[in-house]
Chains A and B, each alone.
Chain A
Amino acid sequence: MPDGTTTPIVIASGLTPQELEVARLIVSALSLEVAAEEIEPEAPLFNEGLGLDSIDALEMALAVSRAYDVKLRSDDERNHRIFSSLRTLTAHIEKHRTR
C-alpha cells in the first residue's frame, strides 16, 4: 500500500454484505490471519480451503449463537451443507436469525 491511510481495497470476490459480516465474525472469533474480504465465498471452510478444524467449529458455533441467536447443530445431513462454505453458512444464518 502506498501510504498507511488509504481505505483497504475490497477484493472483488463477490461477497454480499451479509457474507462479509459473517466473514468478519469468523475472522475475529477464530483470530484468523486472513482478511474477511479475502475469504472465497464458495471455498470449503474446513480442511482445505480455510483450514478450520473441530476447535474452530465450536468457537464458530459460540460466536454465531451470540451474534445471531442461531444454534448450530450436527444432528443431520444439513450440517455438511451449512458448513460447506461461507455462502451456505450465511444463508443458514439469514434464514434462522432472530436478531
Chain B
Amino acid sequence: MAWSGMPPDGTLPLTNRAAAEVICHRSGGPVTVGRFLGEARALAARLPAEGHAINLCADRYRMLLGFAAALLRGQPTLLNADASPHRLRALAGAYPGAYLLADRAIASELPLVPVEDAAAADWTGPAPLLPAGQLAAIAFTSGSTGQPTAHPKPWDALVAAALAAAGRFGLRPGDGPPSSVLATVPPQHMYGFETTIMLPLHAALACHAGEAFFPSDVLDALDGLPERRLLVTTPLHLRALLAEGRRPAPLAAVISATAPLALPMAEAVERDWGAPMLEIYGASEAGSMASRRTASEPDWLPYAGIRMGPGGDYGEVHVPGLGAVPLADALEPAPGGRFRLLGRRADLVKLGGRRASLAELNRVLVELEGVEDGVFVAPEDIESNPAARLSAYVVAPGRSAEEVLAALRLRLEPVFLPRPLVLVAALPRNGLGKLTRAALAELRLAVAGP
C-alpha cells in the first residue's frame, strides 16, 4: 500500500481522532469524538442485522451517526438524497434489505430507523477498527441507461482521500488549531460527504450540523462557529452569498466544487472576504482528485497518491483504493506536476452538481409516449452561469408541453428538466438526419420571435 497510515493487519480505524476532540458543532453545543462513538454504537445496535442503509438525514451529525453505525455493522451506506417514492423503490429493488435512516418522516414503504437524540455512554478506549476493504459507501451518478450508475467506495479509499485532503488543506493534527467547516452541499453528495462526513473522522476538523441553505442561514451559521472556519460551497451558492453584500465572519478558506468557478468570483472572495478561494476538482466516481487557488493558479495540483493519466492516457485517473477510474473531462499535463482542464467532453452537461449526457436525455425524451422527435439544447453560458438551464424542442402532436414535462419529471432528475420545453411542428434535421448547431440556433430564434 502506498500510504503510511495502513496498519499491518489490514484494518483502519473508524476515526483517527482522540476521544476529547470535537467532531461536530450542534445547536446544543460541541460534540466530542467519545460521545459520538458512544451514540454510534447505540444506534448500531438498533439497525437491521443486514442490508444497505439509505441515509437521508439532513442534519449532518445524524448523517455522521448513521454512517458510523452502519459501518460498525458492516453495512454500506447508499449516498442518495432523493427521498421520492420512485427513487427509494428503485434503490430497494437494486439493494435487497435496503432500509432508511432518517431524521424526519419519509413517505415510503421501506423500513425506517429514526436517527434521533438519545443518551448513550461515551466510548472509551481506542476507536473501533474496520476491515480496510469493507464496502463503506456507494455513490451514484446519472447513468447511461436512465438508471443511476453505482460507484462503490471501500473504506480504505475513503480514508486515503480524507488523509490526502487533510494534507492539502492543512487539516492534519499537527497543522495548527482544529478547524470547523460549514457546508452548503448535502452530505449525501460525494463532495459534501468527503468534506463534512469523512474529514471530521480523519482530520482535525468539526462539521456544523445544521442545515444552511439561504445566504442568511450560511452567514449566521458562520458567525456561530469557532475559528478556523472553512466554507465548503459551490459557484451557485457563492454567487448568492456575494450578492448578499454582508461580509462573513473571518474565514480560513473558502472551498468550491461541482462546477468551474468564474475568475471574477474567485477574485471577489479573495478581495472582499480576505480569504483564500480554493477549488476542488472531483467526480462522484473518483472522489476529490486535485485542487487549486483559482485566482492565481490556472492549473490543478493532484492530491497525494492521485495519478492523472496513468499509462499516458489522460482519459483516466489512478485513485488509491479504487484503481483506474475513467474521467468525464478532457485534461492535459501542465508544468510542476499539475494538469489543465480542457473542458467537459462533448455531449456531457453538468447542472446543480449533477451530470448527464445530452444523448441520453434525448433518448429519454423521444421514448416518451406521444413524442415523435425531440432534442435537448444546452445554453451557451452553461459553464459560466451557475443557474443555467437546458431547453428542449419537442414534436408531440396532440400533447401539451405540460403533459410532456410531467412525463419527463418521472424519468429525469429535476435539475435536467427543460426550461422552456417548446413544442414545434418539426425539427430542422438535415439530409443525414442530424441537427446542426446552426439549425438549432435558427429554430431558437424562430420560436423566440422577433
* Chain A residues within CB distance 8 Å of chain B: 31-33, 47, 51, 53-55, 57-59, 61-62, 65-66, 71-75
Contacts and interface: CB of A to CB of B under 8 A. Distances in A.
17 contacts: A31-B389, A31-B419, A32-B419, A51-B405, A51-B409, A53-B414, A55-B236, A55-B351, A58-B213, A58-B237, A58-B387, A71-B215, A71-B216, A73-B217, A74-B212, A75-B211, A75-B217
Given A33-B419, A51-B414, A65-B215, 17 more contacts: A31-B419, A33-B420, A51-B409, A51-B417, A55-B351, A57-B213, A58-B214, A61-B215, A62-B215, A65-B243, A71-B215, A71-B216, A72-B216, A73-B217, A74-B214, A75-B211, A75-B217
Interface residues of B, number: 28
A75 B220 CA distance: 10
A54 B214 contact: no
Contacts of A73: 214, 216-217
B216 to A, nearest CB: 4
Interface in B216-255: 216-217, 220, 236-237, 240, 243-244
B211 A74 contact: yes
Among B210, B215, B237, B421, chain A packs the most CB atoms within 10 A around the CB of: B215
Grouping DSSP codes into helix (H, G, I), strand (E, B) and loop, the A interface class, with mixed when no group exceeds half, is loop
A74 B352 contact: no
Contact of A65 (B220, B244, B389, B414): B244
Contacts of B214: 57-58, 61, 71-74
A93 B414 CA distance: 27
A65 B281 CA distance: 32
| 7 A-B pairs with least C-beta separation | A71-B216, A33-B420, A74-B213, A53-B414, A61-B214, A58-B240, A72-B214
Interface string B245-273: 00000000000000000000000000000
B415 A53 contact: yes
Contacts of B387: 55, 58-59
Contacts of B211: 74-75
Contacts of A33: 401, 419-421
A99 to B, nearest CB: 15
A33 B401 CA distance: 11
B403 to A, nearest CB: 13
Interface in B393-450: 401, 405, 409, 414-415, 417, 419-421
Contacts of A32: 419
- Which residue of A58, A61, A73 has the most chain B CB atoms within 10 A of its CB atom? A58
